Structure 1
Amino acid sequence: MPPNMHLTHEPVHHGTPLESAALVVYAIHGRGQSPAFMAEVADRVGLPGVAWILPAAHEASWYPQSFLAPPEDNQPALNDALATVREQLASLLAQEGPPVVVLGFSQGACLLSEYLLRDQPHLAGAVLHTGGYLGPTERTWVASPGRGLSDLVVELFTAQDDAWVPLHRVEATSTAFRSLGCTVELTVYDDPDHHFNDDSIRMIRRYLRRRTAPPTEP
């Protein structure tokens, strides 16, 4: 079996050190991007006390085809990408530190949508910007016993007419999360640019602030 090339790249740590952070954000970049892109997003959010953990896709892509392609067309890279998220998040959650929120943009949001709906992990929050679960058709998702999405508040952002991510799939992803008991807030912009606009940055800052652990007494 060939090695998982995504795991040959160590995540970049940006912001507050993990040992003193009040919140951890595991933030996944899109196709053609790098952790530096998500570091810029972190700086725009500008929330103190946050440790940003920024994974890196091998050759700047988590999987080769469109997220709307049949999943088998994106293998083995897709399974490697899911395994990378699974392993890196498990490491963060095992530390029993501050709350952990996931954030993804574009291909990163698609990867996280698929991971969250499949694995249903216990997390403090999820922000998915311009992305949805994978595959050419809509799918039905079933809650797994003992998993943790029922208390999750998912924040979704997208554009009315994005060049790569159709609105109907983001809406279907919103429905999928609701079917698993999540509270979902979907914001749709009349903004054709494939980016984080200032309003989404403001809303992400508010969302993360609400999930930041209070400071501990010395």
Structure 2
Amino acid sequence: MYDTTWHSPKSSITQAVIFLHGRNQSQAATLAIAQPLQDTNTLLVLPSASQRSWYPGSFLANLQENEPWLSSSISYIDAVIERIIETGLSTDQIILAGFSQGAALAAEYVGRIHKVKGLIAFSGGRIGPWGCNWEEDTSLSAMPMLFSVATRDPFVPLKRVRETVAHFARRGANTILKTFEEDEHYVRKSEYIAARALFT
């Protein structure tokens, strides 16, 4: 149901980036999007879901409409993190990132479980219907987070990204939101620059 590829750096590993793909994205496309985040000391980890989808419905649907796939995907990401820890890294050396559906899953994982150093969400926000109230209130202790999205993204409403940022800020995270006055759904060079600066 799931698979993961591991891309070792050129030098000794001091951190890991887990990058979650968008809906219907191939491994090759995911690697192309994720690779600019890999430094010479960074283990790049690319989990992949069955049929290239982490859950079947919209990230704005009622949670039950995306179950049991959503819970299964969250559990798998948790297992990937545990496997990284077994290699000798700690949770404060692991960054969780994603694009589109993968960004939504990454944000949801951090919202519920949050055992990583930080979050990079390219065009994504937490999962749930409009008007939902994310109940978690555990402190995120200044965890660095980058959210970025086009103001007219055809798949990810800016309103939801802003709601997500506000939710994490209330819990003490160090949140950054970058927006772009356009309607394109992709990762821009400036987003990579901001992400790398946040975790250098």
Given the two structures, how large is their TM-score scaled by the length of structure 1? 0.83
Runs of 4+ in 1 over 4 A off after TM superposition: none
- State the Cα distance separating 1:205 from its structure 2 match: 2.5
> Bigger radius of gyration, 1 or 2?
1
Residue in 1 that maps onto 2:55: 63
Can you list the C-alpha shifts for 1:122-157, whole angstroms capped at 9, x where unaligned?
A: x2221111111111123133333xxx7213111111
Q: Which residue of the other structure, out of 157, 167, 172, is the alignment partner of 1:181?
A: 172
Distance 2:77 2:38 in 1: 24
- State the Cα distance separating 1:45 from its structure 2 match: 4.1
Distance 1:54 1:46, change over 3 A: closer
- State the Cα distance separating 1:206 from its structure 2 match: 2.1
Distance 2:118 2:37 in 1: 16
Aligned-residue Cα RMSD (Å) equals 1.9
Distance 2:36 2:62 in 1: 35
Q: Which residue of the other structure, out of 140, 147, 158, is the alignment partner of 1:156?
A: 147
Q: Which residue of the other structure, out of 106, 109, 122, is the alignment partner of 1:112?
A: 106
Q: Which residue of the other structure, out of 123, 128, 136, is the alignment partner of 1:130?
A: 123
Q: Does 1:74 align with 2:74?
A: no
**Partner letter of residue 105 of structure 1?**
F
- State the Cα distance separating 1:200 from its structure 2 match: 0.9
Distance 1:46 1:76, change over 3 A: closer
Which region of structure 1 is more displaced relative to structure 2, 134-143 or 22-31? 134-143
Which region of structure 1 is more displaced relative to structure 2, 88-97 or 162-171? 88-97
Decide whether the 8 Å contact of 2:144 with 2:175 is kept in 1.
yes
Tell me, what secondary structure is at the counterpart of 1:181?
coil
**Partner letter of residue 56 of structure 1?**
S
- State the Cα distance separating 1:15 from its structure 2 match: 3.9
Distance 1:42 1:68, change over 3 A: closer
Given the two structures, how large is their TM-score scaled by the length of structure 2? 0.90
**Partner letter of residue 107 of structure 2?**
S
Q: Does 1:91 align with 2:83?
A: yes
- State the Cα distance separating 1:94 from its structure 2 match: 4.1
Tell me, what secondary structure is at the counterpart of 2:193?
helix
More strand by share: 2
**Partner letter of residue 194 of structure 2?**
M
- Determine what percentage of the aligned residue pairs are the same residue: 28
Tell me, what secondary structure is at the counterpart of 1:133?
coil
Can you list the C-alpha shifts for 1:67-112, whole angstroms capped at 9, x where unaligned?
A: 0011111111111111111111122234432611111110001111
Distance 1:46 1:80, change over 3 A: closer
Structure 1: stretches of 5+ with no match in the other structure: 211-218
Distance 1:56 1:167 in 2: 26
